[in-house]
Structure 1
Amino acid sequence: MAVTAHLLLIDQTGRILLQQAANGRWGLPATELRFDVSPQRHVVAFAGRDLGIEIAERDLLLAHVNAHRTTERGTVRLVFSVGVWNGEPAQSAWRQWASPGKPPERMATWDAQALPVLLTFTPYTEIGWASPDWPVLP
């Protein structure tokens, strides 16, 4: 089972930061937790290294937990809302600010399902357990 951390950064105009994965799909910036350091410390390091912004652990809010199951594996996803950060995310063709109501067409499956829920302040969801007849998520 994997545990991932996702960052929910919302700018002053209400847009969210998205990052493009190697498969071309867009989603929240995310990192797989290894537990060699605390999850919050890992997220702070990820934000500095991969996004080029400085955040403090005290500015992370655990906004959502998701248990996600596919036929291949299970994942627990922690979504941290970042209230304050220093700097601007590094410019990249793989990064963009997007309106939550009009995300890019090529959203990653989990992110497309989770984004509307994240904006309603729902603390916990499960994906993949409702019915064995549901299609398998990538």
Structure 2
Amino acid sequence: MIDFEVLTERAAHEGIERIGVGVVVRDASGRFLMIHRAADDVLPGLWEYPGGHCLPLLAAPCHHRRPDLREDRVNPRDDIRLTTAPASRTDPPALVVGVHLVLTEAHRVLLGRRRNTRYAAGMWHLPAGHMERGEPVTRSMTREAEEELGITIAEDDLLLVHTLHHLDADDGRSRLQLFFRPTRYNGRLRNAEPDKCGELRWWPLDGLPDDTVPYTAHALAGITRGSTLSTVGWAG
């Protein structure tokens, strides 16, 4: 097995860091190369590569060795000095998955003005967030609803009303944006994260503010038309 103490001790020098019960390997520039999952994680004993490729630890390919890593500090069978070949067009893509809550009332939709955020600060956006490791998208959505609006939603009460495949022009990343409408919820709507949201307001679906996040406006227009799938940012 990998000696986690060795990895932790040499993390800064070797580009290896401990994360929860596993370890992450990065190259000299900090780019993610792979993650090893320990016994109580989702995929025990596997190296996972960008795009979802997984191989048993001892079968992980070794493309080059780091000469500055002391041979006597690790089990020679556990090659932690690994890099992967550049991703090809045939590799499965690594998607960022976003979740968005569509709350409507009398042809109006609830939007929040983003505040102190790296993305779209000052713009209007649906209550939203990202899927986190170890949770299904339905749990991601109910968690975000509770964190941002102070309401609880049962996962079975979520309806997927639109899927948007978004190619982000800013960073070139491919994102799958999911839009859910709850059939019911418990609690009183409130701005539960005032440090991230300046205000909440109901806006007419046919009269969204000009400074709405563009892909959000696109998705809401599609939802109004009854469209369940669209793309944004792709050529053609």
Q: TM-score range by the shorter chain?
A: 0.7 to 0.9
What is the identity percentage for the equivalent residue pairs of Structure 1 and Structure 2?
30
One of 94, 102, 108 as aligned partner of 1:15 = 108
One of 53, 61, 64 as aligned partner of 2:151 = 53
Deviation at 1:127, TM superposition (A): 1.1
1:24 is matched with 122
Taking the aligned partners of 1:129 and 1:84, their CA distance within structure 2 comes to 35
One of 189, 202, 205 as aligned partner of 1:89 = 189
Report the number of matched residues: 130
Contact map agreement 1:9 1:83 (CA 8 A) in 2: no
One of 94, 97, 119 as aligned partner of 1:3 = 97
CA RMSD across the alignment: 1.6
Taking the aligned partners of 2:204 and 2:109, their CA distance within structure 1 comes to 6
**1:41 equivalenced with 2:139 (yes/no):** yes
1:135 is matched with none
Taking the aligned partners of 2:164 and 2:152, their CA distance within structure 1 comes to 26
Contact map agreement 2:98 2:129 (CA 8 A) in 1: yes
| Higher-Rg member (1/2) | 2
| TM-score normalized by the length of structure 1 | 0.85
Deviation at 1:105, TM superposition (A): 2.2
Structure with more contact order per residue of length (Cα contacts < 8 Å, sep ≥ 6): 1
One of 64, 67, 72 as aligned partner of 2:162 = 64
2:52 is matched with none
2:177 is matched with 77
Q: Name the amino acid aligned to 1:52.
A: G
Deviations 1:37-93 (A, max 9, x none): 111112112111211112111110011111111342111001111121122310464
Taking the aligned partners of 2:201 and 2:133, their CA distance within structure 1 comes to 29
For the residue of structure 1 that corresponds to 2:211, the secondary structure is coil
Deviation at 1:129, TM superposition (A): 1.8
For the residue of structure 1 that corresponds to 2:104, the secondary structure is coil
For the residue of structure 1 that corresponds to 2:166, the secondary structure is strand
Q: Name the amino acid aligned to 1:25.
A: M
Deviation at 1:130, TM superposition (A): 3.4
Q: Can you give the 5+ residue segments of structure 1 that lack an aligned partner in the other structure?
A: 132-138
Q: Name the amino acid aligned to 2:103.
A: L
Q: Name the amino acid aligned to 1:66.
A: L
- Runs of 4 or more, structure 1, over 2 Å off, are 91-94
Q: Name the amino acid aligned to 1:56.
A: A
2:231 is matched with 126
For the residue of structure 2 that corresponds to 1:119, the secondary structure is helix
Taking the aligned partners of 2:178 and 2:109, their CA distance within structure 1 comes to 17
Q: Can you give the 5+ residue segments of structure 2 that lack an aligned partner in the other structure?
A: 1-94, 116-120
